[in-house]
Amino acid sequence: METTAEQRVTMDEITALAKRRGFIFQSSEIYGGIGGFYDYGPLGSILKRNVKNAWWRDTVELRDDVVGFDSSIIMHPLTWRASGHEAQFHDRMVDCKICKHRFRVDHLKNTEQCPDCGSKDSLTEPRNFNLMMSTHLGPMEDSASAAYLRPETAQGIFVNFKNVFQTARKKPPFGIAQIGKSFRNEITPGNFTFRVREFEQAELEYFVPDDGNDMTCFNDWVERRKAWYASYGVKRDRLRFYELTPQERPHYAKAGIDVEYLFPWGWGELESIAHRGTYDLDAHMKLSGKDLRFFDEASKAHYTPILIESSAGMDRTTLTMLIDAYEKETVTDAGGKQSERTVLHFHPYIAPVQVGVFALARNKPELVERARAIEAALRPTFRTQYDEGNIGQLYRRQDEIGTPFCVVFDYDSLEDAKVTVRNRDTMIQERVAVDALASYLRERIA
Contact residues toward ligand ATP (CB under 6 A) are 184, 186, 195-196, 199, 201, 269-272, 311-313, 315-316
Question: Cα(221)–Cα(273) distance, rounded to whole angstroms?
Answer: 8
- Smallest distance, Å, CB 34 to ligand ATP? 15
Cβ–Cβ under 8 Å, residues 315 and 342: no
- Our CB check for ligand ATP shows the closer of 44 and 356 to be 44
Angle, in degrees to the nearest 10, between helices 314-325 and 42-56: 110
Question: Cα(384)–Cα(14) distance, rounded to whole angstroms?
Answer: 24
SS3 316: helix
- Our CB check for ligand ATP shows the closer of 319 and 401 to be 319
Question: Cα(346)–Cα(325) distance, rounded to whole angstroms?
Answer: 6
- Smallest distance, Å, CB 294 to ligand ATP? 26
- Our CB check for ligand ATP shows the closer of 199 and 263 to be 199
Instruction: Report in angstroms the alpha-carbon separations of 402 from 7, 54, 81, 213, 324.
Output: 21, 17, 45, 42, 12
- Our CB check for ligand ATP shows the closer of 258 and 375 to be 258
DSSP string, 337-356: -EEEEEEE---TTT-S-SEE
What number of other Cβ atoms are within 10 A of residue 18's Cβ? 23
Tell me which residue has its CB nearest to ligand ATP.
313
- Smallest distance, Å, CB 91 to ligand ATP? 8
- Our CB check for ligand ATP shows the closer of 148 and 386 to be 148
> Residue 139 is which amino acid?
P
- Which of 437, 414, 439 shows the shortest CA–CA distance to 360? 414
Question: Cα(376)–Cα(371) distance, rounded to whole angstroms?
Answer: 9
- Our CB check for ligand ATP shows the closer of 271 and 375 to be 271
- Our CB check for ligand ATP shows the closer of 88 and 111 to be 88
- Smallest distance, Å, CB 18 to ligand ATP? 16
- Smallest distance, Å, CB 211 to ligand ATP? 27
- Our CB check for ligand ATP shows the closer of 196 and 350 to be 196
Secondary structure element (H or E) that encloses residue 419, with its range? strand 418-423
Question: Cα(386)–Cα(381) distance, rounded to whole angstroms?
Answer: 15
DSSP string, 14-80: HHHHHHHTTSEEETTGGGT--TT-EEE-HHHHHHHHHHHHHHHIIIIIT-SSEEE----SB--THHH
- Smallest distance, Å, CB 84 to ligand ATP? 12
Question: Cα(224)–Cα(177) distance, rounded to whole angstroms?
Answer: 15
- Smallest distance, Å, CB 14 to ligand ATP? 16
Question: Cα(225)–Cα(55) distance, rounded to whole angstroms?
Answer: 9
Cα four-point dihedral sign 361, 366, 368, 371: negative
- Smallest distance, Å, CB 311 to ligand ATP? 4
- Smallest distance, Å, CB 197 to ligand ATP? 7
- Smallest distance, Å, CB 252 to ligand ATP? 15
- Smallest distance, Å, CB 128 to ligand ATP? 15
SS3 6: helix
Phi and psi dihedrals of 68, rounded to 5?
Answer: -90, 165
- Our CB check for ligand ATP shows the closer of 103 and 294 to be 103
- Our CB check for ligand ATP shows the closer of 204 and 270 to be 270
- Our CB check for ligand ATP shows the closer of 350 and 367 to be 350
Question: Cα(143)–Cα(76) distance, rounded to whole angstroms?
Answer: 13
Cβ–Cβ under 8 Å, residues 298 and 44: no
